Amino acid sequence: MNREWVSIKNAVNREFIAAESLELIGSGLSARQAIKKVAEKFAISDWKTHSAVHALVFETLRARNVLDRIIKEVLNNKSLKDLNPFMLNVLRVATYQMHIQNVPAALATNEAVVSIGQNMEEKDKQLINALARRIEKIQPSTIIENTSDRYDVLALEYFMPKWLVKHLIEVWGEARAKSIMSNLGKPPKRTIRVNTLKISPDTFLEMDHRMQLEKTPLLDVFNVVKTEVPLPRVKGYKESLFFIQDFASTLVSHVLKPSPEDDVLDACAAPGGKTTHIAQLMQNRGRIVAIDIRRRRALELHKKLKLFTVKNTSLIIADANMLPLKATFDKILLDPPCTGSGTIGSRPENKWRLTKRYTKWISKLQIKLLNHVSKAVKLGGTLVYSTCSIIKNENEDIIEKFLQNHPDFYLERTEPFLGEPAINMPEAQRLLPDKINCEGFFIAKIRKKH
Ligand SMILES: C[S@@+](CC[C@H](N)C(=O)[O-])C[C@H]1O[C@@H](n2cnc3c(N)ncnc32)[C@H](O)[C@@H]1O
Nearest CA to ligand 1 atom 15: 337
Quick: pLDDT tens for 85-136.
999 999 999 999 999 999 999 999 999 998 887 667 788 889 999 999 999 9
Name 314's bridge partners: 289
| pLDDT at res. 252 | 98
Centroid of ligand 1 to alpha carbon of 64 (angstroms): 29
**Closest residue by Cα to residue 438 from 424, 422, 423, 419:** 419
Verify whether residue 268 is a known catalytic residue.
Answer: no
Asked whether the domain spanning 248-448 has the same topology as the one spanning 193-244, the reply is no
- Residue 148 confidence (pLDDT) above 90: yes
Above pLDDT 90, what percent of the chain? Answer: 86
Nearest CA to ligand 1 atom 13: 268
Nearest CA to ligand 1 atom 25: 294
| pLDDT at res. 120 | 75
Residue of 268, 338, 388, 438 marked catalytic: 388
Architecture of domain 193-244: 2-Layer Sandwich (3.30)
DSSP 270-313: TT-HHHHHHHHHTTT-SEEEEEES-HHHHHHHHHHHHHTT--SE
The sign of the CA dihedral 157, 163, 166, 168 is negative
| pLDDT at res. 118 | 65
CATH fold of 248-448 reads Rossmann fold (3.40.50)
Centroid of ligand 1 to alpha carbon of 177 (angstroms): 29
User: What is the Cα–Cα distance from 111 to 101, expressed in whole angstroms?
Assistant: 14
Centroid of ligand 1 to alpha carbon of 191 (angstroms): 22
- Residue 9 confidence (pLDDT) above 70: no
In this prediction, residue 3 has a pLDDT band, given cuts at 50, 70 and 90, of very low
Helix (H) or strand (E) holding 125, with range, is: helix 122-137
Q: Measured from the CA of 270, which atom of ligand 1 is nearest? A: 27
Mean pLDDT of 345-363: 94
Q: Measured from the CA of 333, which atom of ligand 1 is nearest? A: 6
| Domain ranges within the chain, ordered by starting residue | 14-144, 149-184, 193-244, 248-448
| pLDDT at res. 204 | 96
Quick: pLDDT tens for 244-285.
999 999 999 999 999 999 999 999 999 999 999 999 999 999
Mean pLDDT of 198-203: 97
Mean pLDDT score across all residues of the chain: 93
Q: Compute and round to an integer the Cα radius of gyration of the chain.
A: 24
User: What is the Cα–Cα distance from 174 to 251, expressed in whole angstroms?
Assistant: 28
Centroid of ligand 1 to alpha carbon of 159 (angstroms): 29
pTM over cut 0.95: no
Cβ < 6 A, ligand 1 pocket:
268-274, 291-294, 297, 319-321, 335-337, 369
| pLDDT at res. 11 | 54
Nearest CA to ligand 1 atom 19: 319
Quick: pLDDT tens for 394-409.
999 999 999 999 999 9
User: What is the Cα–Cα distance from 270 to 319, expressed in whole angstroms?
Assistant: 12
Nearest CA to ligand 1 atom 11: 268
CATH fold of 14-144 reads N-utilizing Substance Protein B Homolog; Chain A (1.10.940)
Centroid of ligand 1 to alpha carbon of 316 (angstroms): 12
User: What is the Cα–Cα distance from 429 to 385, expressed in whole angstroms?
Assistant: 11
Residue among 292, 302, 362, 370 to mutate when testing ligand 1 (max atoms within 8 A of CB):
292
Residue among 252, 268, 441 to mutate when testing ligand 1 (max atoms within 8 A of CB):
268
Instruction: State the Cα torsion 248-330-369-256 to the nearest 10°.
Output: -10
Mean pLDDT of 330-336: 98
- Give Cα 116 distance to the centre of its chain: 31
Q: Measured from the CA of 292, which atom of ligand 1 is nearest? A: 22
Centroid of ligand 1 to alpha carbon of 41 (angstroms): 31
Nearest CA to ligand 1 atom 18: 319
Centroid of ligand 1 to alpha carbon of 203 (angstroms): 33
